[in-house]
Chains A and B, each alone.
Chain A
Amino acid sequence: MTIPALKVEGLTVEIARGRESFRAVDDVSYALEPARSIGIVGESGCGKSISLRAIMGLLPDAARVVAGAVAVHGTGLSLEGKGAARQRRGHLAMIFQDPGTALNPVQKVGEQIAETPRLVLGETRGRARERALELLRHVGIADPERRYDSYPYELSGGTRQRVMIAIALASQPKVLLCDEPTTALDVTIQAQILRLLVDLREEMGLSVVFVTHELALVGQLCEDVCVMYASRLVETGPTPAVLERPLHPYTLGLLRSAVDLDEELEAPKPIPGSLPDPARRPSGCPFHPRCFLATPECASTTVTLTGLGDGRASACLHVERLLTEDGRALQEAAAKAAVKPQDPAGTAGGDGRG
């Protein structure tokens, strides 16, 4: 058995809001094998980005890790304190969602890249500059000599994200954490950036954690997937198997709500209801108010992620039904039944992305 590139165990993060506090990440565990990638999927606000920031040691002031451990290649990382982020150099690097806010607006982009080799890896000024130029070329930026002296506002969104990737690569990390790296970009640019990430991963043998709200992206990029709902993981497993036969009603819902461009032009079908406020999480299985399989027990029974063999796991009380019956057929039947008795306009309740 190999040592995982990144191992997250029981990660739990609490955020203080006014006088109360709530769990934004609750008992999240996964292991990322070297040179593989894992996708974390869920609606906005489910805690997936916060979990990445916790791993990176970059939690905002109001948030703190209350339990859990993170190890890179077997080395444990401290999760709090001022030095937490520094400890990750050479191990972890992160790509942020919005390159428009993630680059320092008053510093030349070349200097932002060169900062790591110069100050962290101890290169000379000239050597650091060469390294930055090399990285700019590597992430596919034409005319790096000229771009080195540009300020972020002078660059397009796609180019900024390439710069962001170059900054991440500058520390020569083994694991790359990507927080929705394409969400803020135009569709055509998205494809280019994804291509770049795939190529870099192959070339450099990186291990990647890819956070997104689009299940389809995970299908293209990641060997494994974790589905997250209301701060917890609800289903994990190898991506092809999960997409082929989801074993949690929420995963089924995500698949059904996704816009599929290959299929005939059908309107996406959102999951009824909306993501609960993390401070007021429903009892029992947090998904039960929106679930088509829900029974009264779901509201009272605590569910945990349970292994099902073949590397798969689900946190559904009724997983047996999904294993024996056709989940998609159950879902369609439930959807049809739901439309009739109720006001059709009132059932949708949000676009499912929160």
Chain B
Amino acid sequence: MYVLRRLLQAIPVVLGIVVVVFFMLRLIPGDPAAALLGTHATPEAIQALRDRWGLDEPIWVQFWLFLQQLAQGDTGTSLFYDVSTRTLIASRIPVTVALVALASVFSVLIAVPLATYAAVRKDRLPDHAIRMVPLVGLGMPSFWVGLVLILLFSVQLGWFPVGGWGDTFAEHVYGLILPALTSALGIVPLLVRSLRAGMLEVLEADYVAVARSKGIRESRVLFVHVARNAFVPTLTLLGINIAFLMGATVVVERVFQLNGLGSLMLTAISNRDFPVVQGVTIIFALAVVVITLVTDLVAAATDPRIKLS
């Protein structure tokens, strides 16, 4: 029941995303075809592009064309490479998925222990130190963090490659460590701040005192009673912040020369390759919708109260 309701809620959001991405072309000042092809374009080339996108047709016909393409998983042919955006995007997805996944893992591995340690040592030195993390971390541009990490770990110490993705699986993982760390550090401050508050709430809760008063082992108190109650807010928090994390990977991919969706988008922007930009944008937004949906469903499976609201 809850699953169905949650799925239905996602439908208007997906429709909204499609409409927004469609209307982006209309935001281009003047004739989009002329603007995209640049000043050297011949009138014939501009007219050809207008015909291809149906720019002389009424707006709903254009939207219908757009939807038809989208139904095939496509947003048109790349203006620069002359292949379908679907092919281009598909080839770039693995890098970005791996980067986002590894970055999520890193952010949890860094933020959860820090927040827990701060909460357990509340108002003492470790807590005060850890509470500085959000303060300093929030103002750090990801691309700059990436550069500093490259400077330290690749240039000075030589531990990691300066960039790139390698050829074998081992090289992929190895090459992803610094970029994933960079992306993770972008959301760690946000996670630490909220998680610390959440952990404090759970640690000071009466039901934890009750669990202790039963005489069960402290490890069981922590892993069963504390962890299970702290899991849902952590998951929800990660779900909310993953959108931001994905946005940050766009820039991080550029810094580390990774050929993922972010690099594709930035290259497409410098080539004024509009269909590709549209395609990447829509893929990112849909991914966020799916991830939010999944985290909500997992949270509901863990916390019986969620299904009520």
A and B touching (Cβ–Cβ under 8 A): yes
A88 contacts which chain B residues (CB < 8 A)?
A: 213, 215
Known contacts A105-B229, A119-B217, A167-B214: A98-B206 contact under CB 8 Å = yes
B214 contacts which chain A residues (CB < 8 A)?
A: 89, 115-116, 119-120, 167, 170-171
Contact present for A153 and B206 (CB under 8 Å): no
Give the contacts of B290-306 with A (CB-CB under 8 A): 302-305
Contact present for B217 and A151 (CB under 8 Å): no
Interface status of B204 (Cβ within 8 A of chain A): yes
Contact present for A82 and B216 (CB under 8 Å): no
B206 contacts which chain A residues (CB < 8 A)?
A: 96, 98, 101-102
**In the complex, which residue of chain B has the Cβ closest to the Cβ of A179?**
B206
For residue A154, give the distance in angstroms from its CB to the closest CB of chain B.
Answer: 8
**In the complex, which residue of chain B has the Cβ closest to the Cβ of A58?**
B209
* Complex partner residue of A86 from B123, B204, B205, B215, CB under 8 angstroms: B215
**In the complex, which residue of chain A has the Cβ closest to the Cβ of B214?**
A116
* Complex partner residue of B229 from A57, A98, A104, A115, CB under 8 angstroms: A104
Contact present for B305 and A58 (CB under 8 Å): no
**In the complex, which residue of chain A has the Cβ closest to the Cβ of B216?**
A119
Interface status of B210 (Cβ within 8 A of chain A): yes
A62 contacts which chain B residues (CB < 8 A)?
A: 123
Give the contacts of B211-249 with A (CB-CB under 8 A): 211-218, 220, 224-225, 228-229, 232
B215 contacts which chain A residues (CB < 8 A)?
A: 85-90, 116, 120, 171
Contact present for B213 and A93 (CB under 8 Å): yes
Contact present for B218 and A120 (CB under 8 Å): no
A115 contacts which chain B residues (CB < 8 A)?
A: 211, 214, 216
A89 contacts which chain B residues (CB < 8 A)?
A: 214-215
Bound-state Cα–Cα, A61 to B120, Å = 9
Interface status of A107 (Cβ within 8 A of chain B): yes
Give the contacts of A99-123 with B (CB-CB under 8 A): 101-107, 115-116, 119-120
Contact present for B213 and A94 (CB under 8 Å): yes
**In the complex, which residue of chain A has the Cβ closest to the Cβ of B221?**
A85
B303 contacts which chain A residues (CB < 8 A)?
A: 105-106
Bound-state Cα–Cα, A61 to B217, Å = 18
**In the complex, which residue of chain A has the Cβ closest to the Cβ of B121?**
A61
For residue B227, give the distance in angstroms from its CB to the closest CB of chain A.
Answer: 10
For residue A20, give the distance in angstroms from its CB to the closest CB of chain B.
Answer: 13
Contact present for B213 and A58 (CB under 8 Å): yes
Interface status of B308 (Cβ within 8 A of chain A): yes
Bound-state Cα–Cα, A105 to B225, Å = 9
Interface status of A126 (Cβ within 8 A of chain B): no
For residue B257, give the distance in angstroms from its CB to the closest CB of chain A.
Answer: 45
For residue A298, give the distance in angstroms from its CB to the closest CB of chain B.
Answer: 37
Interface status of B52 (Cβ within 8 A of chain A): no
Interface status of B159 (Cβ within 8 A of chain A): no
Contact present for A102 and B207 (CB under 8 Å): yes
Contact present for B210 and A102 (CB under 8 Å): yes
Residues of B in contact with A, size category: 20 to 34
Instruction: Convert A103-147 into 0s and 1s, putting 1 for each residue whose CB lies closer than 8 angstroms to a CB of B.
Output: 111110000000110011000000000000000000000000000
Interface status of B122 (Cβ within 8 A of chain A): yes
Contact present for A56 and B229 (CB under 8 Å): no
B contact face: mostly helix, strand, loop, or mixed: helix
Residues of A in contact with B, size category: 35 or more
Interface status of A60 (Cβ within 8 A of chain B): yes
Known contacts A60-B204, A96-B206: A85-B212 contact under CB 8 Å = yes
Give the contacts of B182-217 with A (CB-CB under 8 A): 204-207, 209-217
Contact present for B122 and A101 (CB under 8 Å): no
Give the contacts of A188-246 with B (CB-CB under 8 A): none
A105 contacts which chain B residues (CB < 8 A)?
A: 207, 229, 303-305
Contact present for A101 and B207 (CB under 8 Å): yes
Contact present for B213 and A56 (CB under 8 Å): yes
Bound-state Cα–Cα, A83 to B209, Å = 13
**In the complex, which residue of chain A has the Cβ closest to the Cβ of B218?**
A82
B122 contacts which chain A residues (CB < 8 A)?
A: 61
A171 contacts which chain B residues (CB < 8 A)?
A: 214-215
Contact present for B302 and A106 (CB under 8 Å): yes
For residue B275, give the distance in angstroms from its CB to the closest CB of chain A.
Answer: 47
Bound-state Cα–Cα, A17 to B217, Å = 30
A60 contacts which chain B residues (CB < 8 A)?
A: 204
For residue A183, give the distance in angstroms from its CB to the closest CB of chain B.
Answer: 13
A92 contacts which chain B residues (CB < 8 A)?
A: 213
Bound-state Cα–Cα, A164 to B210, Å = 9
Instruction: Convert A286-328 into 0s and 1s, putting 1 for each residue whose CB lies closer than 8 angstroms to a CB of B.
Output: 0000000000000000000000000000000000000000000
Known contacts A88-B215, A120-B214: A153-B304 contact under CB 8 Å = yes
Give the contacts of B260-299 with A (CB-CB under 8 A): none
Instruction: Convert A150-185 into 0s and 1s, putting 1 for each residue whose CB lies closer than 8 angstroms to a CB of B.
Output: 010100000000001001101100000000000000
Known contacts A82-B218, A115-B214, A119-B217: A106-B204 contact under CB 8 Å = no
A106 contacts which chain B residues (CB < 8 A)?
A: 228-229, 232, 302-305
For residue A72, give the distance in angstroms from its CB to the closest CB of chain B.
Answer: 13
Contact present for B302 and A96 (CB under 8 Å): no
Instruction: Convert A48-80 into 0s and 1s, putting 1 for each residue whose CB lies closer than 8 angstroms to a CB of B.
Output: 000001001110111000000000000000000
For residue A165, give the distance in angstroms from its CB to the closest CB of chain B.
Answer: 12
Known contacts A96-B206, A98-B206, A151-B304: A107-B228 contact under CB 8 Å = yes
Name 26 interchain pairs, CB-CB below 8 A, sorted by A.
Answer: A85-B212, A86-B212, A94-B213, A96-B206, A96-B210, A98-B206, A101-B205, A101-B206, A103-B207, A104-B207, A105-B303, A105-B305, A106-B229, A106-B302, A106-B304, A106-B305, A115-B211, A115-B214, A116-B214, A119-B214, A119-B216, A120-B216, A151-B305, A153-B308, A168-B213, A171-B214
Known: A104-B228, A153-B305. 4 other contacts (CB 8 A): A94-B213, A104-B210, A106-B305, A168-B213
